[in-house]
């Protein structure tokens, strides 16, 4: 029997199974509005929790920020127990190109999250190691509508919560289902001699290139929220097919490929960067909590 909206999946119908001991983080904070312990799966169609490494846009290749603008690796869950997860939770040269996936959390995972994340007051997890001044470490973010915690190197409480997601992230991604909505695209002109795939859409490839010369005089290739959304079902299927072929080819012959698919329409060649559209994005493709709800 499948779980209904707002209900966690049972071990029989979930994409994930299993349980693990979870260090207590005293996550019994009560919701200010209801006076009850804050629940993860409360049946609401809104984003409830995000756990991710914050984007470091300046470290990315020009035009490629679309792949990491919602964090990498990244995990999000809504009030109906639906989760959305990126690749990148394990070492993989193609982590930025892996598709986002979706699934339904099982009862044990919901319980682990509710026991380890004080959802109504996430600031209680703001316990970082003194070594967090190491700036090369990724900024780990834990966010909800009610608050956030951030550490480069977490302390015991932060790490215990983070590990609830990280320890099962690869399992959640592997067992998740592909997203089937739109694709966010951006491109950067490429003049190298690497093999190129044929551009599969009727729209001119050049419209997806983030322009170098813009009226404001500022190159947007390292900015978040500047990609183009492709939503036509036939078009997104063709784009996903290019991505899947690239992932297979670059795994079989890694020396022939660099970072992302190169495509050409016979007039221009580009490095093509893409990311699956995710529920709860704003108009620029950035995940956002519902304000005032």
Query: Beta strands 197-198 and 262-264: pairing type?
Result: parallel
Segment 59-79 mean pLDDT: 95
pLDDT at residue 130, as a whole number? 75
95/26: higher pLDDT = 95
Tell me the two tokens of residue 256: 């022939």
pLDDT at residue 24, as a whole number? 41
Q: Is 198 exposed, middle or buried (0-12, 13-18, 19+ CB in 10 A)?
A: exposed
Topology of the domain comprising 47-178: Mago nashi protein (3.30.1560)
Alpha-helical runs (H) found in 9-151? 107-116
Main-chain dihedrals φ then ψ at residue 292, nearest 5 degrees:
80, 5
pLDDT at residue 118, as a whole number? 93
Main-chain dihedrals φ then ψ at residue 83, nearest 5 degrees:
-115, 155
Q: What angle do CA 65, 71, 76 make, to 5 degrees?
A: 140
What does pLDDT average to over the chain?
A: 85
What does the alpha-carbon distance between residue 182 and residue 231 come to, in Å, rounded to a whole number? 4
Ranges of each domain in the chain: 47-178, 183-276
pLDDT at residue 138, as a whole number? 87
End-to-end CA distance of the chain: 31
What does the alpha-carbon distance between residue 191 and residue 173 come to, in Å, rounded to a whole number? 34
Main-chain dihedrals φ then ψ at residue 286, nearest 5 degrees:
-105, 135
pLDDT at residue 80, as a whole number? 96
What does the alpha-carbon distance between residue 99 and residue 243 come to, in Å, rounded to a whole number? 9
Segment 244-249 mean pLDDT: 96
What does the alpha-carbon distance between residue 184 and residue 240 come to, in Å, rounded to a whole number? 11
Segment 131-148 mean pLDDT: 81
pLDDT at residue 199, as a whole number? 98
Tens digit of each residue's pLDDT (9 = 90 or more) over 38-56: 689 999 999 999 999 999 8
Please check the confidence at residue 197 and state whether its pLDDT lies above 80. Answer: yes
pLDDT level of residue 5 (50, 70, 90 thresholds) = very low
**Looking at 163-167, 217-221, 251-255, which range is the least confident one?**
217-221
Tell me the two tokens of residue 6: 């707002």
């Amino acid at each position: 029997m499948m779980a209904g909206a707002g209900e966690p999946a049972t071990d029989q119908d979930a994409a994930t199974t299993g349980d693990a001991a979870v260090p207590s983080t005293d996550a019994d904070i009560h919701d200010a509005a209801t006076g009850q312990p804050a629940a993860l799966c409360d049946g609401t169609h809104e984003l409830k929790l995000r756990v991710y490494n914050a984007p470091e846009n300046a470290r990315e290749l020009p035009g490629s920020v679309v792949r990491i603008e919602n964090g990498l690796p990244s995990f999000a869950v809504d009030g109906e127990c639906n989760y959305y997860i990126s690749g990148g939770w394990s070492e993989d040269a193609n982590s930025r190109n892996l598709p986002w996936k979706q699934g339904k959390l099982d009862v044990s995972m919901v319980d682990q999250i509710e026991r380890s994340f004080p959802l109504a007051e996430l600031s209680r997890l703001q316990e970082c190691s003194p070594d967090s001044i190491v700036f090369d470490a990724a900024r780990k973010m834990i966010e909800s509508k009610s608050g956030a915690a951030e550490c480069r190197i977490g302390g015991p409480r932060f790490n215990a919560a983070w590990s609830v997601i990280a320890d099962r992230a690869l399992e959640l991604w592997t067992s998740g289902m592909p997203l089937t909505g739109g694709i966010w695209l951006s491109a950067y002109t490429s003049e190298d001699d690497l093999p190129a795939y044929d551009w599969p859409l009727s729209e001119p490839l050049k419209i997806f290139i983030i322009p170098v010369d813009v009226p404001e005089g500022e190159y947007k290739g390292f900015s978040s929220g500047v990609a183009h959304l492709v939503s036509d079902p036939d078009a997104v299927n063709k784009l996903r097919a290019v991505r899947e072929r690239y992932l297979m080819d670059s795994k079989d012959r890694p020396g022939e490929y660099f970072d992302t698919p190169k495509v050409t329409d016979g007039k221009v060649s580009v490095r093509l960067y893409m990311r699956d559209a995710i529920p709860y994005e704003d108009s620029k493709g950035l995940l956002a909590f519902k304000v005032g709800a």
